[in-house]
């Protein structure tokens, strides 16, 4: 590998002029020695929403419920002083998305604003919650409205619409209104009036992903290879292997090790610069890279259940129901809607490139890497222009004209829905790649899979429109799939009858 680093730096300089400069943050750690200058107003107190364990010597550990005072706010990591709890009288960096202002709605333990209905049901029905556990979330069917979800004694979840008064108050039943949500919660925690008396807030078992591994890696994301330990091999593919690993002896990560020669380093760095800025709850977060020698490492957040393809094939309907499958599709559509909004393209959307975490949380992975990898596999097709594609997932205009757009990603999403509803079955199961290439321009489309609801197959068919312009946007696909949940309104209790 002699001379590899020099070639790498020259490569980076040609692509990004600031790279390779001794003063550049990519190759030289930023100066973190001097404590930041306080800019927050004294006495501004925040409440910790989750536990956090320091990952570096510059971080500050704290427990949920601890009070902290930010001394300096940056975008994702704040320098703060602990007021109560294990962080009392200590200073260090904290993830900004782990805290909320004291006395704010976000600080309330029962407030779960971005939680979907199906997700709320799964969370409330977990073993940690008892009868009367509850949460308040944004209503999916009506923008700006709220829903109260509560666990009944029979381990079922009941949902209540929270309506607003013109003067800003709230009510569930018209016979009783409240100035604040906190007053509403306190009332139904002490008296009957709903079909269940509220007890404890739903347990917040899953902390959000931090933005980056730590404050030190936000800008300095080329990390030392020595800071990573590869623990367990999770899988292998045509481009390399994926491991469960640990960074800095503190943080669980996934590490993709790429086969030498599987990608052009210059192209990868250009794409990685974009990928690192694409942050969304339904996209796998790129944490860091190791590119100063081969094999190249790509370090991302770890998802406990591996690829969606393997997850579906392993389950085969044992625990996953159609509502779970639709939810998976809506999560992928949500991540892709963000990619669409950013004018970016995935190019290889498929179940194998979606990862699954706890509670069936799905996140899109490997976006943008398809045009970087040197693809060599029997399941890809080489066009005359030299481009290679996974045929059974690729839109006709991408195969024949090498035209990749967000609309070709929409076509691939239709194939992904087919994979989801068939528990990971190969698309076009009776056809070869060559037959697919021949038949698609003639109007052939896969028939409706067994046990697939008509409304779901209709969504697939819209994705497979011949003209890209006629295919829906991912934003439309997201709300169409989410609307599937709202078809059943029986779980909502109309308390207006009281």
Classified as helix, coil or strand, 201 is: strand
Strands (E) in 114-184, as ranges, are 134-138, 146-151, 157-164, 170-171, 177-178
Q: Match 């829906």 to its residue by tokens.
A: 472
**Inter-residue contact 411 to 395 (CB < 8 Å):** yes
- What is the torsion angle, in degrees rounded to the nearest 10, for the CA atoms of residue 96, residue 100, residue 101 and residue 104? 150
| Helices and strands in the chain, H and E counts | 11, 20
- Nearest Cα neighbor of 335 from 285, 289, 301, 369 is 285
Residue 229 assigned ligand-binding role: no
Distance of CA 188 to the CA centre of its chain: 34
493 is catalytic: no
In the chain, the N- to C-terminal Cα span, in Å, equals 76
- Residue 38 is given by DSSP the state P
One of 166, 249, 267, 348 is an active-site residue; which one?
Answer: 348
Torsion sign, CA atoms 67, 281, 284, 233: positive
Cβ count near 332 (within 10 Å): 27
CA triplet 498, 183, 137: central angle to 5 degrees? 80
Catalytic residue IDs: 348
Binding site as annotated, residues for ATP: 256
Binding site as annotated, residues: 256
């Amino acid at each position: 590998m002699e001379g590899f680093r020099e070639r790498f730096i020259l490569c980076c300089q040609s692509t990004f002029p600031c790279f390779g400069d001794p003063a550049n943050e990519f190759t030289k750690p930023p100066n973190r020695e001097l404590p930041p200058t306080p800019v927050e107003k004294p006495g501004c107190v925040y409440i910790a929403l989750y536990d956090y364990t320091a990952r570096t010597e510059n971080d500050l550990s704290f427990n949920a419920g601890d009070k902290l005072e930010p001394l300096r706010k940056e975008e994702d990591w704040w320098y703060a002083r602990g007021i109560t709890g294990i962080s009392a009288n200590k200073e260090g960096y904290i993830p900004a998305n782990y805290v909320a202002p004291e006395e704010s709605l976000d600080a309330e333990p029962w407030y779960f604003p971005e939680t979907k209905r199906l997700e709320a049901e799964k969370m409330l029905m977990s073993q940690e919650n008892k009868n009367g556990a509850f949460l308040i979330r944004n209503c999916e069917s009506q923008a700006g409205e709220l829903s109260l979800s509560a666990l009944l004694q029979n381990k079922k979840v009941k949902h209540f619409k929270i309506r607003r008064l013109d003067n800003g108050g709230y009510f569930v039943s018209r016979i009783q209104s409240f100035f604040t949500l906190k007053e509403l919660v306190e009332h139904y925690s002490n008296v009957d009036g709903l079909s269940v008396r509220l007890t404890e807030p739903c347990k917040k078992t899953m902390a959000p992903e931090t933005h980056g591994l730590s404050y030190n890696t936000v800008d300095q994301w080329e990390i030392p290879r020595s800071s990573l330990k590869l623990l367990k091999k999770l899988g292998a593919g045509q481009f390399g292997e994926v491991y469960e690993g640990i960074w800095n002896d503190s943080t669980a990560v996934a590490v993709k090790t790429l086969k030498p020669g599987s990608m052009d380093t210059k192209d990868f760095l250009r794409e990685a610069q974009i990928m690192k800025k694409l942050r969304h709850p339904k996209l796998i977060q790129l944490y860091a890279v190791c590119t100063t020698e081969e094999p190249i490492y790509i370090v991302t957040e770890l998802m406990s259940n591996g690829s969606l393809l393997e997850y579906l094939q392993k389950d085969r309907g044992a625990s996953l129901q159609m509502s779970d499958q639709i939810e998976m599709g809506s999560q992928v559509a949500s991540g892709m809607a963000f990619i669409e909004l950013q004018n970016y393209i995935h190019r290889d959307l498929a179940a194998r490139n979606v990862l699954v975490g706890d509670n069936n949380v799905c996140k899109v992975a490997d976006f943008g890497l398809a045009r970087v990898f040197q693809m060599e596999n029997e399941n890809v097709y080489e066009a005359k222009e030299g481009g290679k594609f996974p045929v059974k997932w690729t839109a006709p205009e991408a195969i024949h004209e090498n035209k990749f757009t967000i609309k070709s990603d929409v076509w691939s999403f239709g194939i992904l829905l087919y994979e989801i509803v068939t528990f990971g079955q190969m698309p076009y199961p009776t056809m070869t790649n060559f037959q697919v290439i021949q038949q698609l321009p003639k109007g052939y489309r896969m028939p409706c899979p067994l046990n697939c609801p008509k409304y779901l197959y209709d969504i697939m068919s819209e994705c497979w429109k011949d003209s890209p312009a006629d295919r829906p946007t991912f934003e439309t696909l997201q709300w169409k799939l989410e609307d599937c949940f709202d078809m059943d309104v029986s779980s909502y209790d109309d308390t207006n009858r009281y």
